[in-house]
Amino acid sequence: MFSNKYKIGKMVLVFLLILFLCHYGYHKGPETGGPELQDYLDNAELFDGAELVSSYSKVGEVNEGRFELMYRYGDERRKIIVIGNAEGLEEGDIVSVKSIFRKDDFLELEEIHIHKHLYLQWYASLLPIPFVILFFFKEFKFKLQRLEFERRR
């Protein structure tokens, strides 16, 4: 009787530890990108940039001094060109913008946070699940076989 409670307690602790590690890996703090990047658009007066704040955007092509930001606005996908410091950015990075303000007919993006491997972290958090299932199966497998053997007697 004691050994069953011990095994179940051990399994619950292992499961909680794995959940904690997955949660910590998924919510790891973002790196800070280059400050005060300027946003350039053909129609700058029609674009207030509010849809970029606090949402995730994907970095497109990165050239010297400028890069593309691709984001969703409702069901529509949009792309803008950002002029400024592109240091540390690579194509495919996920970024978020803290705030935007207008200066000299340009929009300046303030505090771009780089989430380099956001999706990779999400997939990595799913990685331990098969091992947890195998662990539970291994713990209960022999007990199920023993019960079937005793029923046949």
Nearest to 60 by CA among 70, 51, 50, 47: 70
Backbone conformation region of residue 102, classed left if phi is above 0, alpha if psi is from -120 to 50, else beta: beta
SS3 content of the chain, % helix, strand, coil (to 5): 40, 35, 25
What's this model's pTM, rounded to 2 decimal places? 0.41
Q: pLDDT tens-digit profile of 35-65?
A: 333 333 344 444 556 666 666 777 878 887 7
